[in-house]
Amino acid sequence: MTAIELGTYRHVLSEVRDGIAVVTMNRPEKRNALSVEHMEELTEVFQRIGQEPEIAVAILRGAGPVFCAGHDLNELATCDARTARQIFQTCTTLMQTIRSIPQPVIAQVHGVATAAGFQLAATCDLIVAAAGTRFQTPGVKIGLFCSTPMVAVSRVLPPKKTLELLLTGEPITAEEAAQLGMVNRVVPLEELEKATWELAEKIRSASRYVVGIGKQAFYRQLELPEHLAYAYAMEVMALNALAEDAREGICAFLEKRQPEWRNA
């Protein structure tokens, strides 16, 4: 596999190993707070990942003691209306970029994920969290309701629980989040990287082309009433059945051998 460069950034570290991209938020002194510049860099690196067919999956993690503490409040403390809209639009663009790229994105979460940091974790396709990690939407406590984090969180947690978190600002643990279906794995902190990597490797073993089809179809059908979801999924699956990798995978199964993916 050829070397893939994802760019050099001030607040983000990135590398690609064996078809798995690792993106590290690197503002540990600010608890990886999401300044506009930081969010723009994250958006750019995920856009680059989305354009690389040799990348099968991405892992998003945070340097230092926490995953992400949310927006950089220094930028919000004295901003005018125009700047506030720019901050939240930049955040929205980041979240939509993560959802739009064909590669699944796994959040490797430790410490805390608060406000926009919670939003970021919830936006990722899968979450592996260290035991004791706390997820929180504390905006109500500082007079800034977590309205944009609410969009992502309300789509991965039950409505009543989401509203409780938003109205009280109290945290939810990784263990409780896993029980409610938001977190995929909860492991001891010392096993976090290994567990995340193992999950990424399982995804990498499939056809990248087919995984990309599946990720897009999953989110699209969730937006539709059941009968329209079936109609949409039927068309997606019928076209998928004609792909080279579908033919190869079916033949390999019937012939009792490992498939040789062409990613097409």
Distance separating alpha carbons of residues 263 and 202, to the nearest angstrom? 16
Same domain for 145 and 212?
no
Q: In the prediction, which pLDDT does 3 show?
A: 76
Show which of 170, 188, 204 is a domain's final residue.
204
- CATH number of the domain that residue 70 is part of: 3.90.226.10
Question: What is the rounded (10 degree) CA torsion for 108, 116, 16, 96?
Answer: 120
Full strand arrangement of the beta sheet holding 112-114: 112-114, 134-136, 172-173
Same domain for 231 and 196?
no
pLDDT tens readout for residues 142-159: 999 999 999 999 999 999
Distance separating alpha carbons of residues 49 and 54, to the nearest angstrom? 9
pLDDT tens readout for residues 98-110: 999 999 999 999 9
- The token pair at 221 is 């059908």
Same domain for 212 and 198?
no
Buried b (16+ CB within 10 A) or exposed e, 60-82: bbbbbebbbbbbbeebeeeeeee
- Amino acid letter, residue 98: I
Show which of 204, 223, 238 is a domain's final residue.
204
Q: In the prediction, which pLDDT does 2 show?
A: 62
Does residue 4 belong to any structural domain of this protein? no
Q: What percent of the chain has pLDDT over 90?
A: 97
In the predicted model, what is the mean pLDDT of residues 186-190?
98
Q: Is the pLDDT of residue 9 over 80?
A: yes
Distance separating alpha carbons of residues 123 and 166, to the nearest angstrom? 17
The two most distant CA atoms of the chain are separated, in Å, by: 66
Same domain for 160 and 197?
yes
Distance separating alpha carbons of residues 98 and 246, to the nearest angstrom? 26
Burial classification of residue 127, based on how many CB atoms lie within 10 Å of its CB (0-12 exposed, 13-18 middle, 19 or more buried): buried
Same domain for 80 and 178?
yes
Handedness of CA 173, 174, 178, 181 (dihedral sign): positive
Distance separating alpha carbons of residues 69 and 146, to the nearest angstrom? 13
Same domain for 219 and 187?
no
Q: Which domain does 117 fall in, by range?
A: 12-204
pLDDT tens readout for residues 193-235: 999 999 999 999 999 999 999 999 999 999 999 999 999 999 9
pLDDT tens readout for residues 50-68: 999 999 999 999 999 999 9
pTM: 0.96
Q: In the prediction, which pLDDT does 264 show?
A: 86
Same domain for 190 and 223?
no
Distance separating alpha carbons of residues 27 and 37, to the nearest angstrom? 11
- CATH number of the domain that residue 235 is part of: 1.10.12.10
Q: In the prediction, which pLDDT does 47 show?
A: 98
> In degrees rounded to 5, what are phi and psi of residue 186?
-125, 125
Same domain for 221 and 175?
no
Burial classification of residue 5, based on how many CB atoms lie within 10 Å of its CB (0-12 exposed, 13-18 middle, 19 or more buried): exposed
* DSSP bridge pairs for 59: 22, 106
- Domain count of the fold of the chain: 2
Same domain for 112 and 172?
yes
Same domain for 87 and 147?
yes
The answer to whether the beta carbons of residues 39 and 90 sit under 8 Å apart is yes
Does residue 16 belong to any structural domain of this protein? yes
Same domain for 195 and 228?
no
What letter does residue 207 receive in the DSSP assignment?
Answer: -
| Block residue for tokens 């009433």 | 225
Q: In the prediction, which pLDDT does 5 show?
A: 85
Same domain for 124 and 168?
yes
